[in-house]
Amino acid sequence: MSTVPVIPIPARYETACPFAPPPAYTEAASTGPVGRAELPDGSPCWLVTGYPEVRTVLSDRRFSADARRPGFPFLTEGRRKIVAANPSFLRLDDPEHARLRRMVTGDFLVKRVEAMRPGIRRIVDEALDRMTAGGGPADLVAEFALPVPSLVICLLLGVPYEDREAFQANSRLLLATDADDRDIARAQEELLDYLTRLAERKRARPGEDTLSRLAMRDDLTLREIASTGVLLLVAGHETTANMIGLSTALLLRHPEQAARLADPATVPGAVEELLRVLTILHTGVPRLAVEDVELGGTLIRAGDGVIAMLSTANRDDGLFGAEGHLGVAEVDLGREARRHLAFGFGVHQCLGQPLARAELQIALATLFRRLPGLRLAVPEEALEFRPEALIYGLKSLPVTW
């Protein structure tokens, strides 16, 4: 094992392909499904890169998602304190996790999301109307990719969209790996306070939204409602916004692929391939082994930290074809990509995935249909990405049409 490199997490982006995760993870995957990694504080953890092994880590209860357990892998001590003090159900195990998650599953049912499609279409069309009203160029991230999912999740949760400036800035801080711990803690407190006050108001005057329903329950504390609210609000707009921006930039590089979105029948499969190839959770998913586990020929001891790397699992040769292995140059919207793990796996798999899929399908298909001349307004080399974010994306995307 001494010859196997120890990969620092987060790894640096020294890559020719700005859409791809750091090459160190892909290189680690080529040496075996389970490798060694090192967190920023110098503590060791396992880097799990193989597809079946990632599925095992995320679905086997011998790996815990409870961030309060000593030794749970975190990027900084500050982040550990912040998350452990107010864990949302994302960082809890069953039965606590199931109790809290099941209170909101009803809002993300496939049929409920299907019923939201006309509303999402209207939001997408109106955002495009506003973006194009003044003529080009425009920043597609600020004018389209971020407003669409922000409006949708605000509508669903019952959060006033006019408060977006504060919650968008705090969401970004919460997901920054290069931010000061005190700033991250302040961002989390502000978001929790904001959602707590909102839940109190909903208790007095309930509406037809998720927060109102949560606020009316007598088996939830205001803090639990706020933690769930922060999770849904942050996860509901940051992820989808980054996927819309990155997907657009990638498709502008591959116009022959973008043209395939004109056929409505190819759109759902195309979105699965974009989810697979971009896998925006570049830093992976942390877990803690709570029993000894033999995984991919390696003995992982109880108490060891583990990072499940979704992006390398999604480049599995056998499942998705070897040509997709390096970078994302070989994005193929016709590929059978539904087995990807971009939404994670196991009981923590993304709750909002039907909503994310609907938003991505409608946003990308509408964008390329309405603006057939869409193109970058700057050279691709000038695009600014977010290597410092837990969820990868573009800072801005200057386009014209």
Partner 1 sequence: MQVNVDRDRCCSSGQCVMTAPEVFEQDDLDGLVTVLRPVVPASLRGDVRLAADLCPGGAIAVTEADGAGTAV
| Site of interaction with partner 1 (CB under 8 A) | 58-59, 98, 101-102, 105-106, 108-111, 338-339, 343-351, 353-354, 357
Check whether the bond before 268 is cis (ω within 30° of 0): no
For the bound state, the minimum distance from the C-beta of residue 343 to partner 1, rounded and expressed in Å, comes to: 8
For the bound state, the minimum distance from the C-beta of residue 105 to partner 1, rounded and expressed in Å, comes to: 4
Which tokens sit at 196? 């707590």
For the bound state, the minimum distance from the C-beta of residue 107 to partner 1, rounded and expressed in Å, comes to: 9
79 versus 101: smaller Cβ distance to partner 1: 101
Per-position b or e across 224-254, b if 16+ CB within 10 A of its CB: bbbbbbbbbbbbbbbbbbbbbbbbbbbbbeb
Give, as one character, the DSSP assignment of residue 176: B
For the bound state, the minimum distance from the C-beta of residue 189 to partner 1, rounded and expressed in Å, comes to: 29
How many CB atoms lie under 10 A from the CB of residue 40?
13
138 versus 351: smaller Cβ distance to partner 1: 351
For the bound state, the minimum distance from the C-beta of residue 51 to partner 1, rounded and expressed in Å, comes to: 12
**169-175 long-range Cβ contacts below 8 angstroms, 24+ apart:** 171/233, 171/234, 171/237, 171/238, 172/238, 172/389, 174/234, 175/234, 175/238, 175/389, 175/390, 175/391
Could you tell me the CA-to-CA distances from 165 to 127, 168, 251 in Å, in that order? 17, 5, 29
Can you tell me whether residue 356 is helix, strand or coil? helix
155 versus 319: smaller Cβ distance to partner 1: 319
Would the CA dihedral through 317, 355, 280, 6 be positive or negative? Answer: negative
87 versus 147: smaller Cβ distance to partner 1: 87
174 versus 293: smaller Cβ distance to partner 1: 293
For the bound state, the minimum distance from the C-beta of residue 108 to partner 1, rounded and expressed in Å, comes to: 7
Distance of CA 346 to the CA centre of its chain: 16
The C-alpha atoms of residue 387 and residue 178 are separated, in whole angstroms, by 10
- Contact, 6 vs 31, CB < 8 A? no
84 versus 347: smaller Cβ distance to partner 1: 347
107 versus 139: smaller Cβ distance to partner 1: 107
For the bound state, the minimum distance from the C-beta of residue 54 to partner 1, rounded and expressed in Å, comes to: 12
The C-alpha atoms of residue 246 and residue 89 are separated, in whole angstroms, by 28
47 versus 337: smaller Cβ distance to partner 1: 337
For the bound state, the minimum distance from the C-beta of residue 110 to partner 1, rounded and expressed in Å, comes to: 4
